Each structure stands twice: as C-alpha cells, then as structure tokens.
Amino acid sequence: MIPIDQIQLNFNPASLILLNVILGFVMFGVALDMHLRDFKEVFVTPKPVLIGLLAQFIFLPAFTWVMTMFIKPAPSIALGMILVAACPGGNVSNFITHFSKGNTALSVTMTAISTAIAIFMTPFNLAFWGSLNPDTKALLTQIAVDPLEMLASVFMLLGVPLILGLLISHKAERVAIKLRKPMRWFSLIVFGFFVAGALAANWSHFLNYVGYVVFYVFAQNGIALLTGYTSAWATRLPEADRRAVAIEVGIQNSGLGLTLIFTFFHGLGGMALIAAWWGVWHIISGMTLGFFWSKFPPRTAT
C-alpha cells in the first residue's frame, strides 16, 4: 500500500466549493440559535466560560501535541490531530449537553464564543503546535500554508455566517425562530449526504487506512472529554457545568477541519481520515456519555 502520508483523497474543486457553501449554511443555522446576550453572559458569569475556553483552545491542543510527540504517529496523522484540536466545538454539542442534563445555556454560550474566537485561534494553534513537532513542521513547510490566508478562509467559513445569523436573530427574531429548526435539519442532512458521498468516492482508501487512525481518534477524543471535565472539576464548577464543558471540548467541529484540509492540504490522507473519523466517533462517544449521564441528574449543589 501507498504510505498514508502520500495518499490524497479524491476531491475536485467543485466539491470543495460545495463543501464551503454547506459549512456556511451549517454555521448560519448555528448562529440563528445564538443571541448577543449569549456573549454578554461571559461578563455576568465569566468563570465557567473562561474555564471551558482554556480547555478548548489551550489545554487540548497542548495535550494533543504531547500525545503526538510521545506516540509518534505518521506526520499527516499527527498534523490532522493538531488541526482537529485547534477547531472550535461542534454544532451538535448543545443537543448532547441537553441530553446529558448538563448546563445547556453554558454550552450555547461556549459554542458562540468558541466559534468567534476560532476565526483567530484555529489558524494560530495549527501553526504554533504544528511547528513545534519536527515531523508536522516539515509538512507545514512543504505545503507552505499561509497563516493569513487560512485566517481569511476561516473568517469566510465561520465569521460571515455567524455575523449574518446573529444579525437576523437580533433584528428579526421571529424570522430566526421560524428558520432555526428547518435550517438545522437541512444543513445537517445535506452535510451528512455530502460526507457519505465523499466517503463512497474514497471507499478503498477508507477501508485500507481507517485502521491507522481509529486508535488515535479514540485516544484523543477521550483526552478531550477528560480535559474538559477535569478542568471544570478542578475549578469547582457545578456538575451540570462540568458536563457542558466536557462535551463542548470533546465534540469538535471536524467539518471545519475537513474543509481546511481540502483547501490547504490537498486532501492529505492521514489528516482527512483523522477528521472524517472524528466526525463519526465524537457523536458515538458523546451520545454514549450523554445516555449514561442522563440516568444521573446532577445535584444542584456540589
């Protein structure tokens, strides 16, 4: 077989444009569920949000880098892990938090803030942690990723839909309420079909190489969930907040990761397989944890 660092998944420019549009719709649908007051919540009760954001954008990328240095996966797999760790929380985290009987309001606030911060933090974390690992640094240099170009791309993918959605939810709340549910289901279903189609087009690569990434995704996702929960526990947040932070850190926006991989890394095999399998596994792990937690409602005092 071809080494995983050398394979490139089948993905043409027209498909990339379509993926960008779909991700824009997904983020627009998420933004319709947000309000400017979600951001104000940070100033009212900043501690839970700040702890969650530290776990999301500082601790998880750092622990991921340590993991790549310790177990030394193939360079493209390592870079894929760092990229996923640099992404904001995924858009299903709010639902899983609610199902887990966690603090849904905190989850929504974290989603809003982390999505906005990701415009800058995702390119920064990828460039910073990726350059600290000699193997992944060589890939970054070889592919010559421009951090400013990635920043502009992330702003178009996240920032523009976020701003439009917030404007509608603020200025025309009735319209936003009518659009929320249809947009959420439409974007998720279309994105699901798109991922399924991309997977079918690369089925042989998936079958041959998915075994290389299963362990790494399983371990990294476990570290992400544990990082979120222990960060909240160590700072004495209530149990409902701990669950929200754990899920927010453990559910990553792998769709954004895939888009960046095909835009800047030409569908590099190890990276794409990591992000694709993350998109499957984090829902399985999140819902499994949510089912367990749903049987044990948190006490109001901890």
The pTM of the whole model exceeds 0.85: no
Q: So where are the chain's domains?
A: 13-294
Give the pLDDT confidence score for residue 132 in this predicted structure.
94
Give the pLDDT confidence score for residue 173 in this predicted structure.
75
Can you read off the two tokens belonging to residue 232? 């909240």
Give the pLDDT confidence score for residue 15 in this predicted structure.
60
Give the pLDDT confidence score for residue 118 in this predicted structure.
85
Give the pLDDT confidence score for residue 301 in this predicted structure.
44
Q: Which CATH class is domain 13-294?
A: mainly alpha
**Which residue ranges of the chain lie beneath pLDDT 70?**
1-20, 23, 30, 33-34, 37-42, 91, 142-147, 150, 158, 184, 187-188, 191-192, 194-210, 267, 300-302
Give the pLDDT confidence score for residue 64 in this predicted structure.
96
